[in-house]
Amino acid sequence: MKTTYLGFALLAATGSLTVVAQAQVSLSIAIAPPALPIYAQPVMPGDGYMWTPGYWSWSAGDSDYYWVPGTWVSAPFVGALWTPGYWGWGGSGYAWHGGYWGSHIGYYGGINYGFGYAGVGYQGGYWNNGAFSYNRSVNNVGNTRVTNVYNTRIENTTVNRVSFNGGVGGIRLQPTKSEQSIANMPHNGQTAMQLQHEQASHNNQELRASVNHGMPKIAATPEPGAFNAPGVIAARSKAPAAMNSPAHMKQAAHGKPADPAAHPQQARPQQAHPQQAHPQQAHPQQAHPAGGGAQHQSGHHEDEHHEK
């Protein structure tokens, strides 16, 4: 049985920001979303772009999930960080909690979206003196001219592709007090380009779960809505063999599928970077190369999700 209802988002203008309540729920259904597909990351199109991971959305008119490809999005303001949305069990159905832009990374259900979004915080880079520094171990810089690049390997310790929190088989991780506080801070919702990207995904039959069976041919794009552009990435059946080494087969506490009998709280993994990055501050844990356009030569980045 499928249950669908529309929720209400609390929206209030606050200067150039929009307050978006973390409790925001756009819909809730009884059918769990499919597993996250395995895909590589396209080469970033330019400096100042931020990676926004792909996710499953729901089409009420078609009673079907559809894949919204991961894509590079131009940061809407200096210091902007993207907190991905997530599906969470609400007792009678799976509710979608929309993503948002803010100055801190908030709670996103413990979902391992990859490419720096390992379930808690973000390890893909940080803002410093008005410029974003990219960790190329989880970002496909390619031959793109980028001013600030460093290289800190982030070991992905989970191989699960669970796309929802709670319920039967979901991720068991609750928000910390810090993440709850971040949820109450001023946020920006999706940009116009992100909204158009999602709508184009809804209109593309090949992105329906009933059609692609969890392996969309358009899993990631170099820019929003660029479904036919060079560099579009298709989902693949499995990660490269090198990524299935024993070190990568260990499961982090936040990444284990839920055991219905287990306690809902699990130990949170240590992070290689702090959960939030602030403008005008040097990164506290990383040594960085001097700015100067370090380059990564691979055509597709396969060091992260679901390539690990």
For 41, the token pair is: 């990351």
Q: Beta strand 86-89 with 64-68: parallel, antiparallel or unpaired?
A: unpaired
For 286, the token pair is: 């990383």
Q: Is the separation of the CB atoms in 29 and 4 below 8 Å? A: yes
Residue 225 lies in a domain: yes
Instruction: List strands edge to edge, sheet with 125-128.
Output: 125-128, 131-135, 149-150
Residue 263 lies in a domain: no
Residue 51 lies in a domain: yes
Query: Helix or strand or coil: residue 254?
Result: helix
* Domain total in the chain: 1
Query: Helix or strand or coil: residue 201?
Result: helix
Residue 297 lies in a domain: no
Identify the pLDDT of residue 157: 55
For 119, the token pair is: 């379930």
Q: Beta strand 100-102 with 164-165: parallel, antiparallel or unpaired?
A: unpaired
Residue 307 lies in a domain: no
Residue recorded with tokens 């979004």: 117
The tens place of each residue's pLDDT in the chain, 308 residues long, gives 333 333 323 233 333 333 344 445 556 789 999 999 999 999 999 999 999 999 999 999 999 999 999 999 999 999 999 999 999 999 999 999 999 999 999 999 999 999 999 999 999 999 999 999 999 999 999 999 999 999 998 875 556 899 999 999 999 999 999 999 999 999 999 999 999 999 999 999 999 999 999 999 999 999 999 999 999 999 998 765 433 333 332 332 333 333 333 333 333 443 444 344 443 333 433 333 333 333 333 344 444 444 44
Q: Is the separation of the CB atoms in 98 and 9 below 8 Å? A: yes
Residue 261 lies in a domain: no
Identify the pLDDT of residue 155: 74
Please state the φ and ψ torsions of residue 270, each to the nearest 5 degrees.
-70, 150
Q: Is the separation of the CB atoms in 73 and 53 below 8 Å? A: no
For 8, the token pair is: 């209400």
Strands (E) in 268-307, as ranges, are: none
Residue 239 lies in a domain: yes
Query: Residue 210: which domain range?
Result: 11-255
Residue 287: how many CB atoms within 10 A of its CB? 8
What separation in angstroms does the CA of 253 have from each of 32, 87, 112, 160?
A: 22, 19, 12, 12
What separation in angstroms does the CA of 244 have from each of 36, 117, 148, 157?
A: 17, 19, 30, 10
Identify the pLDDT of residue 34: 97
Q: Is the pTM of this model over 0.95?
A: no
Residue partners of 139: CB distance under 8 A and separation at least 6: 41, 44, 51, 115, 116, 124, 125, 301
Residue 265 lies in a domain: no
